[in-house]
Amino acid sequence: MSVAIHAEHDLSGANTLGLPCLAEHFAAPRDLGELREALTEGRVQGWPLTLLGGGSNLILPQRLPGLVIQPAMDRWWVEAGAGDTVRVTAEAGVGWHDLVMALAERGLWGTENLALIPGHCGAAPIQNIGAYGVELGEVLESVHLLHLDDGHEAVLRAGECGFGYRDSIFKRELSGRVVIVRLVLRLSRTPRPRLDYGDLASRVVKKPTPMAVARAVCAVRREKLPDPAELSNAGSFFHNPVVPAELAQRLLDEYPALPHFSQADGRVKLAAAWLIDQCGLKGWREGHFGVHDRQALVLVHFGGGSAVELLAFAERIIERVQARFGVTLQREPRLIAP
């Protein structure tokens, strides 16, 4: 067998929350053949399977039994399409931010607002990553995947992925049933800057390049969000809640400064960070975890903590927000059960 399978593999450096975790068995397949080998070995041995991307949006237990597979296929390439369209294919193990910056450098429009989002390309469709007014589903053409039950390959068009706000079919019907092996993105050579979110427009020149927009996004994110390499975190820990219009109006009557965004279905999205901040929790620390002092949506790990402690800490935040505003926050990072 050409794929290496390691025993008792340390995953503490493979998740941006820095939680201690040991994988009973671990493989990092470098191509589709090695991926199939690892999956076959896991089935033969009867090992439960856990798929791991860049570890940026998940909570790991102290030990994962069975087999953990982290795809390491890291090739990407560009193909000309019709007119000004350019198709980009990226394998699952490609670093998302590295890809975004390389595409921006080539003058391709579409992903620049998604700069500095941590993780790998294979995990990007799972939560339909989004930032600064753009979501992956807007530039995604298709997802190539492998079914775990019988190993057959399939392709889903973007419209078949059930994309929503931080949601997709990969979180629901296909959860635990497929492994994403590559993405196809549809980008453009025609300038299409999206600068209507926050203060992006004031940070770039009148006719910006994709790289100028990407660098502006990086600057904003670095000002507001801690670098996981310096202070362990999983980015935004809570979804921005979407509530009925009646509840939103009652809250706005009492809190006119509450940031809110009307949705197509009539509901209203609220800013979770504002709700947490109003509860006096920005900068709050308890034990090994805390709320970041510049961005209340981010929970940080100071080291030495566990998933159990983190979840208990998050639950206290949820309870405080619920008690004051009648709004229930939902956790964004995915919890991996042992």
Active-site residue (options: 166, 215, 320, 331): 166
CA dist 261 and 322 (Å) reads 20
Q: Cα dist. 175→65, 96, 172 in Å?
A: 19, 21, 5
DSSP code of residue 337: P
Whose structure tokens read 């391709």? 108
CA dist 83 and 212 (Å) reads 24
Tell me the three state secondary structure of residue 319. helix
The 8 Å CB, 24+ separation contacts for 301-304 are 301/17, 301/18, 301/19, 301/231, 301/232, 301/233, 302/231, 302/232, 303/18, 303/232
Beta bridge partners of 233: 300
Instruction: Provide Rg for the chain, Cα atoms.
Output: 20
Q: Is 254 a catalytic residue?
A: no
Q: Is 236 a catalytic residue?
A: yes
Bridge-based pairing of strands 76-80 and 289-291 is: unpaired
CA dist 95 and 75 (Å) reads 10
Q: Is 332 a catalytic residue?
A: yes
Active-site residue (options: 188, 203, 332, 334): 332
Active-site residue (options: 56, 142, 168, 236): 236
Q: Which residues are catalytic?
A: 166, 236, 332
